[in-house]
Chain A
Amino acid sequence: MSDERATDRSEPIRVIIAKPGLDGHDRGAKVLARGLRDEGFEVIYTGLRQTPEMIADAAEQEDVDIVGLSILSGAHMALLPRTVALLRERGMDDVLVAAGGIIPDADIVKLKEAGIAEIFGPGTSIGQIARYFRENARRRS
């Protein structure tokens, strides 16, 4: 295989978009999944009403670079740190975890301390999220 081919190979970044908990609104998650597809990501979509365990198990089997959690229900303080903890427990230390949805500013600091790398509120553009993901996703050796 020539060097030229090896260097121009940029493998798609794999992202899982998941909806933890009980809220039934996934329009935002679907818009984001579609937008990231158009930005060249491989997006695994899990559907609604996932437990942190289901999300961590799926992320493990899919070997994703990024876990994106969409949550509107208000249960973020219970569900998001738990998801991060499970991912780390399973050895996914270098997987970026980000969240989006309706999350009060006061909680954002605590969530970041719990390992959520970034939180995207209403009004964030897909371009911003894609750029953040590209800049912060792990580099595969």
Chain B
Amino acid sequence: MTSGGDPLLEQLASGERLPLARLLTRIENGDPSVRPLLPSLFAAGRGGHVVGITGPPGSGKSTLVNGLIGEWRRRGRRVGILAVDPSSPYTRGAILGDRIRMMEHAADRDVFMRSMASRGELGGIAATTWITAAALDAAGYDPILVETVGAGQSEVEVARLAETTVVVEAPEMGDEVQAIKAGLLEVADIIAVNKGDRPGADRAARQLRAMLSTAGGRVERKPPPVLVTTATDGDGVAALADAIDAHRSAARTPAAARERAISQVRRALADLVAERAAGSTGWNEVARAVAARELDPLTAAERLMGE
């Protein structure tokens, strides 16, 4: 919990909210002033549990997150939430509506909830989400819930960021074959069939369990637990919080943690390297050469990387 004497990190550590909120804005905006802070920000990380919450639009992610906040607050945890909604590809505007379901916790000093627009990223989270999650970690929030945009079948980026990924489904979302398609369900560490008061919820959970037990995408894995929740009345929410906490303990073997950290960082590094490349002096020249068909894209990439 060393803040290294940096005044901003000290403010974060002491639970001040406006400095954290303003730091998140600078991170989102790619403000160059963030760059020199990054080493101490990551060093100040306290190992908060990053939990991804994903699933189709309308499956009840935000309502379930609201229930989880209440559950973890009862257990004395400080909860951070990053809730991502899509940006318009035409105007870059966005409606960020996840807060509607969580306003009851707005005044709780031990809950920090931030809405983020995806700003053109297609993976279900924003490009800067991994840094904003690090900021919440440095500020001592644990768990840190990352709620994705309403996800289709392949917005699986959150699984790289999160230690534990919860996929929220609703009943009657499709037949058994949906459960064995590659993609979203494959990255689930836990599946919550929400809207458990609807007809078909238990049947959907049974089908998911049956199908997922036949084949795991990542072969070494046990099939993920499938829980039925009713976020609107809190049914099953405590069990879901237990399952998330249990997954953390199981996932935090040193080897697993190292492997996960590497795969998380790989994507972040690729983004940063791409950004650097796009700003390098040879970039325009190489792009022009490729456009004029004097160079193929692979050779161009090798040249930019100095290979």
Chain A residues near B (Cβ < 8 Å): 1-2, 5-6, 9, 11-12, 14, 33-34, 36-47, 50, 53-54, 57-58, 60-63, 90-92, 140
Residues on A with C-beta less than 8 A from B279 are 1-2, 5
Give the complex CA separation of A6 and B32 in angstroms.
9
Given contacts A40-B91, A44-B96, A62-B21, 18 further A-B contacts (CB under 8 A): A6-B32, A11-B29, A34-B95, A36-B93, A38-B88, A38-B91, A39-B91, A40-B93, A42-B96, A43-B93, A43-B94, A45-B99, A53-B106, A57-B106, A58-B103, A61-B106, A90-B18, A140-B25
Min CB gap A47→B, angstroms? 4
Q: Using a Cβ cutoff of 8 Å, how many contacts connect chains A and B?
A: 96
Q: Does residue B130 face the partner (Cβ distance < 8 Å to A)?
A: no
Residues on B with C-beta less than 8 A from A34 are 95
Min CB gap B36→A, angstroms? 14
Residues on A with C-beta less than 8 A from B94 are 12, 37, 42-43
A-contacting residues, B12-32, CB 8 Å: 17-18, 21-22, 24-25, 28-30, 32
Given the known inter-chain contacts A1-B32, A63-B25, please indicate yes or no for A40 contacting B92, CB distance below 8 A: yes
Give the complex CA separation of A33 and B91 in angstroms.
14
Give the complex CA separation of A44 and B113 in angstroms.
12
Contact B114 A60 (CB under 8 A): no
Contact A37 B88 (CB under 8 A): yes
Give the complex CA separation of A40 and B29 in angstroms.
15
A-contacting residues, B107-145, CB 8 Å: 107, 112-115, 117, 119
Give the complex CA separation of A42 and B118 in angstroms.
10
Contact B106 A47 (CB under 8 A): no
- 7 A-B residue pairs with Cβ-Cβ distance under 8 Å, sorted by A, are A12-B92, A12-B119, A39-B91, A40-B88, A43-B96, A45-B100, A62-B99
Chain B residues near A (Cβ < 8 Å): 17-18, 21-22, 24-25, 28-30, 32, 87-88, 91-97, 99-100, 103, 106-107, 112-115, 117, 119, 275, 278-279
Give the complex CA separation of A42 and B112 in angstroms.
19
Residues on B with C-beta less than 8 A from A60 are 17-18, 21
Min CB gap A44→B, angstroms? 5
Residues on B with C-beta less than 8 A from A1 are 32, 275, 279
Residues on A with C-beta less than 8 A from B30 are 9
Given the known inter-chain contacts A33-B95, A39-B91, A57-B106, please indicate yes or no for A62 contacting B114, CB distance below 8 A: yes
Residues on B with C-beta less than 8 A from A39 are 91, 93
Q: Nearest 9 A-B pairs (CB), nearest first?
A: A63-B21, A47-B100, A37-B93, A40-B91, A57-B106, A40-B93, A11-B29, A54-B106, A44-B96
Residues on A with C-beta less than 8 A from B21 are 60-63
Contact A45 B103 (CB under 8 A): no
Min CB gap A90→B, angstroms? 6
Give the complex CA separation of A14 and B93 in angstroms.
9
Min CB gap A83→B, angstroms? 13
Min CB gap A93→B, angstroms? 11
Given the known inter-chain contacts A5-B279, A60-B17, A63-B24, please indicate yes or no for A47 contacting B103, CB distance below 8 A: yes
